[in-house]
Structure 1
Amino acid sequence: MIFMNMIFIDRERELESLRKRLNSSNFEFIVIYGRRRIGKTTLILKAIQDMENNSVYYLATEKNNLQKFKDVCKLKFPEIEYIKEDWEALFHFLKDKIIIIDEFPYMIEEDKTILSTFQKIVDNILNTKTKLILVGSSISVMEDVISYKSPLYGRRTASMKIKELTFKNLKNYGFDIEEAVKIYGFTGGVPLYLNKVKPPFYEWINEELKKVDSFVKDEMDFLLRYEFKEISTYKEILFAISLGKNNLGEIKDFVKVNGDISSYLKKLERIELISREIPVTETNSKRGKYVILDNFTNFWFRFIYPNLSLIEEGKYEIDKNEYNQYLGFIFEKIAKEYVKSRYSVKKIGRQWWKDIEIDILALGNTKIAGECKWSEDVNPSKILANLEDKLKKLKISVDKYIIFAKSFTNYEKLDNTELVDLETLRRWYLS
C-alpha cells in the first residue's frame, strides 16, 4: 500500500488516537467521516504505515463490491481465494486483521441490507484482535450509520469527524500571511486544495481555470453528488446565498421552487455547507441569516458558477478587485480565529439589528467588539468611533475593542483598543 504523497498537516491528535486504538488488544469498530478531500484516507494510510502486512484497505465503488473486496484481499492474502464469496465468510477469514472500507456509503447504496449484514459480522464473527474501520465522505449517510435507528447502533467503539484545517495551519504550506489570506478564500482548510495551490494565487488560479481538465470546474458537482441525487435545486440555493440573499423569503423567490424550501436548507445545514446565523447575543431569533460556511463552496458560487460558459471558452480570469471585496468576508473568519486563540471566548459571531451590524462580538471573560477592514491605511480612530456609536445604539457594553485591517494610517494608542494589522497577524500566524 502506497501512502499518498501529500503534506500531512495538523492531524497529530487524530493520528495518535487512531494508532492507539489500532495497537490496542481490544476489538475496535471505528467510524471516520467528513467532507470529500478533507484528508480521511491520508490519515488512515498514515496510521497503518507500519501495519500493512496485517491490514486490508478497500475503496468501495458503486457496483460489485463483494467481488472487488475479495479481489483486493487476495493481493494481500492469496489463500482467501478458496473462501466463499460471502461477506460473513470473508470477515471470518479476516477476523484478526485491520479491515478498512473507504467510501462505505457506496456499499449501502448498492445493498440496502449491508448494515444488517455488518451487524451480524460485528456481533458474531469478529474477535478482540479485529480492527474494523468504516470511512465515508457523505456526512448524512455516515451519521445515519451511527444513529440510534441504524442496525450498527451501539457497536462502534469510536468515531471521528474530520474537519477542515485552521487558517493558522496554512503556515505549514509555506504561504506568507497576505498570500495565505487569498489562498484561504479559495481552499478553506481542505488539504487536497491546499496541496494543489501554488503561489502567487492570482497567477495560479487563472492558469488553472484555463486548463481543459481543471478540477475547479466540476468539483462542486462532485461534492454535492456525494450527498444528493438531484443537485440542481441545491446549487441554486447556494448561488442565492452567495449573492447575499440570506433569508428564507429571498432564497425562495430566487430559486422559484414549488412548495417548501426548508427541507433543502436543513439538508445543506446537516452537511455543514450552510448555517443559519443569528445575532450572537441571542439563542433563538427570527432574524436568522443563511450563510455559506465552506470557503471553497463560497468561492465556487461567487466566481465559477456564474461564469462557467466563459471558463469553458478559456476567456475568464478572476478580477482582483472583486476578489478583494470577497476577501472581506474571509478576513472576518480569520479575525474570529485570532480572537478565539487569544482570549477566553464562550461565544463569538456577528451582532445586528435592522441596519446596524457589528463584525465581531465575543462573549466570555472579556467582552470584545471588533471590526474588520480588508483595506490599507485604515483610520483606526474613525472605525472606533463608529463602533462605539453602534454599540451605544444596541445598548451593548464591552471591555475591549479590536480593529483589524491590512494597515492603519497611524498607530496612536486608543483606550481599550487593540490594532491588528497584517504584520501583527503574521506574528500570530507564525507563532
Structure 2
Amino acid sequence: MGVIIGRAEEAQLLSDIAGTPEAELVAIYGRRRIGKTYLVHNFFENDILFEVSGLHNASLQEQLENFKDCLLKTVPGKKIPIPGNWLQAFQQLIKYIQPQIKKRKKVLFFDEFPWMDSPRSGFMPAFENFWNSWASRQKNLIVIICGSAASWMIRRVVQNKGGLHNRITRQIRLRPFSLAETEAFFRAQHVTLDRYQVLQLYMAMGGVPQYLKQVKRGESAVQAIDRVCFSKDSYLANEFNNLYRSRFDSAQHHIAIVKALAGKPSGLTRNEIIDTLRLSSGGGITQTLDELAESGFITSYVPFGKTVKNGIYKLTDEYSLFYLKFIAANKKTGRGTWLKLFNTASWKSWSGYAFEAICQKHLEQLKAALGISGIYTKDSIWRSRAAATARKSAQIDLVMDRSDRCINLFEMKFSAKTFVLTKAYLSELLNKQELFIEHTGTRKTVFLGMMTTYGIRNTEDFAGIIQHQLSMDVLFRPVQPAL
C-alpha cells in the first residue's frame, strides 16, 4: 500500500472489501481534485488488473477505442479489435481477465464512470448486464466505479432503479480533508506552518489535496495564496468554471445559485434563491440545489425548531467563496494582490464567515471537546423573528440541541490574536441567549460558548457567563473512525 494521508475510515472500509470472500461493487464519488483516484491507486497498487478512465465529452467511438487501448495494457501483445458497442466491450473484458482472477482477488477500476455514459451509447445497460450476469459471481473480483459528478453517481448508480438496484455493495463519498488531515498532509510534504497559517490556507482552498499540494516549503500562507490564486495563469485563478462545468451538464443555474449565496453569507431559503434569480419554482431548482449539496458545494441548515422545508442554504465550499469574493474581481492585478488585500476590512469581515463555516464542518471535534461525543445532538442555526420584539434581532451561528436536555449556543470569532471580550460584545451575546430562550420557549439548560482562534484573554472578568470557550486547536484534533 502506498502512503495515504488521513482517510482512516475509508482505508478501513477498503481493507474490509479486500478481505471479503465474495464479489464487491464499490462506488466512490466526490468533487474534482479530492483524491479519489489517488486513494484507489495507492490502496490497491498491486492489485489493479484493469483500469479505464472515461473521456470527457467524447463520442461513443472514442470511448470504445479508449477502452480497447486500456485492455491492451492488461494483456499486452494480444490483438484486440475495437468493440462495436459496450456489450462487446464487456465480453472482451471477461474473456481476457477471467483466467487472471482464479487465484487471488483483483480490482477492475472504472474512473470517471459518468463520462462513459454518453447519450444513446447503451453503456449503463451493458455495465448492468456485465455485473449481474458475470462479475457478481466472481469471488475474487472487486469492481470499483468512481466519478466526480456526485449527483450523477448517486442518482444513476447508488439509487439506481434498474439493473443496478441494490447491487452496490459499498459506497464511499470522499470529502475534503479535515483540518487535522490538512495538517498531516503538510507535515508529509515537509511544509512547516503553524495552525493559524494552516487555517488561513484552508479558508482559501478548503481541504482539497490537489489545491493544498501547490503550497511550497518556506512560504507563508499569504505568500502561497498570492502565488497560487493571483499570479498570471496560476493554478486556482481559473479553476472555478472548470469546477462546475466539468461536473454538471448545464452548469449556468448551478453557478448562478453559487454566486447568489456568495453574496449572502448568512444564507438564503429556497424561495429567496428563486426570487433573487427570478427562477421558476418547479422541480428544476430542487434538482439543482440537490446536485450542489450532494457535490459538497452548498449545505442546507434547518433553523432551530423548523422543518426541512424552512432550510437555509449556504455556500460552504471554501474555494468558491474565496474565488467569488477576491479572485474574480482581481484577476488583472496579478502577483502581489493578496499581499495588499489580506489585512483589509473586507478580508476581516469575510474571514469571520469563513471561520464560522469551517467550525460548522468540524462538529465532531467540537462535541469531543465538550465531552458529549456519545450524546445525540441536532445541530442547527437560529434567527430571531423580525419585528417580534422591541429588542435587537439576533442570529446564532451554531445551536447544539442535546438529548440530555441541554443546548449549547456557540459564537465563532476569527482573530489574529487572543480575543478580548468587551462589555458591549458580552451584552450582545446575552441578548442573543435571552432572545433564543424567549422565542423558542425551551425548558432545557442553555449554555453559552465561544470558539475563537487563540482563546479569550479576559474570561475571568465574566466568570460563569461564558460556560465554554474553545480555541482553534480543538478543530485540529483527529476524530476516530466509527467502529
> Is TM-score (shorter-chain normalized) higher than 0.5?
yes
- 1:263-317 deviation digits (Å, cap 9, x = unpaired): 443442343322332313333464x432112212222222223x1xx41453772
Matches within 5 A, 1:307-326: 307=329, 310-312=330-332, 314=334, 317-318=337-338, 319-320=341-342, 321=344, 322-326=346-350
Partner residue in 1 for 2:368: 341
1:293 maps to amino acid: T
- Work out whether residues 186 and 295 of structure 1, in 8 Å CA contact, stay in contact via their aligned partners in 2: yes
Partner residue in 2 for 1:356: 394
Unaligned runs of 5+ in 1: none
Shifted more, 23-32 versus 400-409: the winner is: 400-409
Judged with a 3 Å threshold, the aligned counterparts in structure 2 of structure 1 residues 258 and 157 are, in CA distance, closer, same or farther, namely closer
For residues 370 and 167 of structure 1, the distance between their equivalents in structure 2, rounded to whole angstroms, comes to 19
2:180 maps to amino acid: K
For residues 148 and 259 of structure 1, the distance between their equivalents in structure 2, rounded to whole angstroms, comes to 26
Judged with a 3 Å threshold, the aligned counterparts in structure 2 of structure 1 residues 176 and 31 are, in CA distance, closer, same or farther, namely same
Shifted more, 262-271 versus 108-117: the winner is: 262-271
- 1:208-249 deviation digits (Å, cap 9, x = unpaired): 334332221221212212332232332222111111172445
Judged with a 3 Å threshold, the aligned counterparts in structure 2 of structure 1 residues 22 and 385 are, in CA distance, closer, same or farther, namely same
Q: Could you say what secondary structure the match of 1:268 adopts?
A: helix
For residues 257 and 60 of structure 1, the distance between their equivalents in structure 2, rounded to whole angstroms, comes to 33
Partner residue in 1 for 2:298: 274
Partner residue in 2 for 1:429: 476
For residues 23 and 117 of structure 2, the distance between their equivalents in structure 1, rounded to whole angstroms, comes to 23
1:58 maps to amino acid: V
> How many equivalent residue pairs?
419
Is 1:196 aligned with 2:236?
Answer: no
For residues 54 and 168 of structure 2, the distance between their equivalents in structure 1, rounded to whole angstroms, comes to 20
Matches within 5 A, 1:237-248: 237-244=257-264, 246-248=268-270
- Work out whether residues 299 and 316 of structure 2, in 8 Å CA contact, stay in contact via their aligned partners in 1: yes
For residues 109 and 19 of structure 1, the distance between their equivalents in structure 2, rounded to whole angstroms, comes to 33
For residues 475 and 332 of structure 2, the distance between their equivalents in structure 1, rounded to whole angstroms, comes to 40
Q: Could you say what secondary structure the match of 1:78 adopts?
A: coil
Judged with a 3 Å threshold, the aligned counterparts in structure 2 of structure 1 residues 37 and 60 are, in CA distance, closer, same or farther, namely same
Is 1:10 aligned with 2:6?
Answer: yes
Unaligned runs of 5+ in 2: 188-192, 386-392, 479-483
For residues 245 and 20 of structure 2, the distance between their equivalents in structure 1, rounded to whole angstroms, comes to 37
For residues 380 and 170 of structure 1, the distance between their equivalents in structure 2, rounded to whole angstroms, comes to 33
Judged with a 3 Å threshold, the aligned counterparts in structure 2 of structure 1 residues 72 and 124 are, in CA distance, closer, same or farther, namely same
How far residue 105 of structure 1 moved from its aligned partner, in angstroms, is: 0.6
For residues 152 and 80 of structure 1, the distance between their equivalents in structure 2, rounded to whole angstroms, comes to 32
For residues 108 and 69 of structure 1, the distance between their equivalents in structure 2, rounded to whole angstroms, comes to 13
- Work out whether residues 171 and 430 of structure 1, in 8 Å CA contact, stay in contact via their aligned partners in 2: no
Judged with a 3 Å threshold, the aligned counterparts in structure 2 of structure 1 residues 213 and 334 are, in CA distance, closer, same or farther, namely closer
How far residue 37 of structure 1 moved from its aligned partner, in angstroms, is: 1.2
Partner residue in 2 for 1:176: 194
Judged with a 3 Å threshold, the aligned counterparts in structure 2 of structure 1 residues 419 and 394 are, in CA distance, closer, same or farther, namely closer
Is 1:370 aligned with 2:418?
Answer: no
For residues 281 and 167 of structure 2, the distance between their equivalents in structure 1, rounded to whole angstroms, comes to 39
2:289 maps to amino acid: L
Q: Could you say what secondary structure the match of 1:160 adopts?
A: strand
State the Cα RMSD in Å: 2.9
2:206 maps to amino acid: G
Partner residue in 2 for 1:388: 430
For residues 262 and 382 of structure 2, the distance between their equivalents in structure 1, rounded to whole angstroms, comes to 20
For residues 335 and 156 of structure 1, the distance between their equivalents in structure 2, rounded to whole angstroms, comes to 33
TM-score (norm 2): 0.78
For residues 40 and 398 of structure 1, the distance between their equivalents in structure 2, rounded to whole angstroms, comes to 43
- Work out whether residues 91 and 121 of structure 1, in 8 Å CA contact, stay in contact via their aligned partners in 2: no
Is 1:42 aligned with 2:38?
Answer: yes
How far residue 142 of structure 1 moved from its aligned partner, in angstroms, is: 0.7
- 1:352-385 deviation digits (Å, cap 9, x = unpaired): 1132111222111342112122234421665444
Partner residue in 1 for 2:245: 225
